Amino acid sequence: MRRMTARPANAHQARLLRLLRDGGPNSRAQLGDQVDLSRSKLAVEVDRLLETELVVADGLAASRGGRRSHNIRLNPHLRFLGVDIGATSVDVAVTNAELEILGHINQPMDVREGPVAVFEQVLSMAAKLRASGLAEGFDGAGIGVPGPVRFPEGIPVAPPIMPGWDGFPVREALSQDLGCPVMVDNDVNLMAMGEQHAGVARTVHDFLVVKIGTGIGCGIVVGGEVYRGTTGSAGDIGHIQAVPDGRPCACGNRGCLEAHFSGAALARDATEAAEQRLSPELASRLEANGTLGAADVAAAAAAGDATALELIREGGNRTGQVIAGLVSFFNPGLVVIGGGVTGLGHTLLAAIRTQVYRQSLPLATGNLPIVLGELGPTAGVIGAARLISDHLFSPA
C-alpha cells in the first residue's frame, strides 16, 4: 500500500498534470497542442513523469489520420479523499486523479461534538470506502469545514458554529492519521472550486457561490482563484444586515441575513407557522415527523401551500437584496446558488433574481446569469479533491 509521493519537478510537469486531470487521457501530440513547448522538450518532461509513475501510458489514441499515438493518462491508481464537513452531516468521497467520484458516503453528524469525535467518524468512513476496494490508500485529502480557516496552516479560526475547533491543527492531525498530504479550507470555498471544476462555473473567471445551508456563506473566485481575504473570513455574508432592527442573531446583532433566512431560520419559521395552524400542509408534516426542515418547506411549496411559498419568497427577497449589493460591488460574471436549500428550487431563484435585477445597475446585471449549482451535494467533495490535487500538482 505504498502511495505515490512524487511531485512534479517543475512548472511544465505541473501544467501537464493539470491538463491531464482536467482533460482526461491525451496523446503526446494533443498535449503539445496545448502547452507551447517544443516536441522534444515535451517528450522529455512526459518521460520524466512516466518515470515517477505519476502518469502511465494507456493504449492507443484515436487516429487523427497518421501514425497512431499512445495515450498518456494520470496513474489510475491515484486516489484522493474529499471530505466535506457540514454543520449537521458529513460527506466523504473517493476520487481518482481526474477527480471523478468513485464512492461517496453521507452521514449525519454534529460538528459541535468537536474535532476529535468528528475525525474519528471521518476516518471510519474513509476506512469503509477503502475496504470496499475503491482505494488501497490515499495520495492526498482535501477537507472542508464550515467556518473560517487560516489557509496556509489549515487551522480553523474563531468559527462561530463550531466552538472547540478554534485553533485545532486539522491539517497536521489528519495528515498524521491518513498518512498523506492534507489541505483544509472553508466548505463554501470548496463548493466554489467544485462548481468551477465540474459544474456551472467551468468557463467563468470571476464568480460568486452563495451557499445557503444551516448558515449562509459565499465563495469568491477572482481570476480563477479562490479569494480568502486577509484573515480567511472573506465571504462571511451571513451576518450582513438584511433587515434594520430585525431579528436578534446569535452573533449579538440584529437583522443579520442568516437570522432571517437560512436552513435553521427556515425550519424555525415553518415550525412556527405549523403550530399556529397557518399552513395545514406544514402542520401535517410536523405531526408526521415531529420536526420540520427545508425539505418539508420545499415539499409543501411544491404542493401549492401558500405559507410555504411565502416563506421561500420572503427569504429569497432578503437574500436577493444582499446579493444585489454584492453584485454591485464585485461585478461577477456568474452567481451560483447552492447548499441545502437548493431544493426550494425555482421559487427561491426567481425571488433572488427579481431583487438582483431590480436593484443592481444594468451594466453589472446585463449579462449576469444567476443559477443553481449543478453538482448538489458532490460539489463540496469534488472541490476538496480539487484543492489537494492543485496542491500536489504544483512544483514542489
Residues lying near its own copies in the complex (CB under 8 A) are found at 148, 157-158, 160, 206, 218, 220, 222, 227-237, 239-241, 244, 251, 253, 321-322, 324-326, 328-333, 358-364, 366-368
For cell 452563495, name the residue. Answer: 210
For residue 241 the three cell numbers come to 444586515
Instruction: Identify what 27 binds: DNA, its own copies, none; CB under 5 to 8 Å per kind.
Output: DNA
Residues between 19 and 78 with contacts to DNA, criterion CB under 7 A: 27-30, 36-41, 43, 61, 63-70
Axis-axis angle for helices 306-330, 263-275 (nearest 10): 160
Of 37 and 56, which CB lies nearer to DNA in the complex structure?
Answer: 37
> Please, what is the minimum distance in Å from the beta carbon of residue 29 to DNA?
4
Biggest CA pair distance of the chain: 76
For cell 401551500, name the residue. Answer: 305
Instruction: Name which of 195, 201, 146 is nearest 386 in CA terms.
Output: 195
For residue 90 the three cell numbers come to 458529513
φ/ψ of residue 177, rounded to 5: -65, -40
For residue 257 the three cell numbers come to 441575513
319 contacts 257 by C-beta, under 8 angstroms: yes
Instruction: Identify what 203 binds: DNA, its own copies, none; CB under 5 to 8 Å per kind.
Output: none
Strand order in the sheet with 26-27: 26-27, 70-74, 55-60
> Please, what is the minimum distance in Å from the beta carbon of residue 60 to DNA?
7
Instruction: Identify what 157 binds: DNA, its own copies, none; CB under 5 to 8 Å per kind.
Output: its own copies
Instruction: Identify what 346 binds: its own copies, DNA, none; CB under 5 to 8 Å per kind.
Output: none
Of 46 and 109, which CB lies nearer to DNA in the complex structure?
Answer: 46
> Please, what is the minimum distance in Å from the beta carbon of residue 7 to DNA?
16
Query: How many whole angstroms separate alpha carbon 231 and alpha carbon 186?
Result: 12
What number of H helices and E strands is found in the chain?
Answer: 14, 15
Instruction: Identify what 89 binds: its own copies, DNA, none; CB under 5 to 8 Å per kind.
Output: none
> Please, what is the minimum distance in Å from the beta carbon of residue 164 to its own copies?
16
Q: Using CB under 7 A as the criterion, what x/- string covers residues 322-351 for binding DNA?
A: ------------------------------
Residues that bind DNA (CB under 7 A): 10, 12, 27-30, 36-41, 43, 61, 63-70
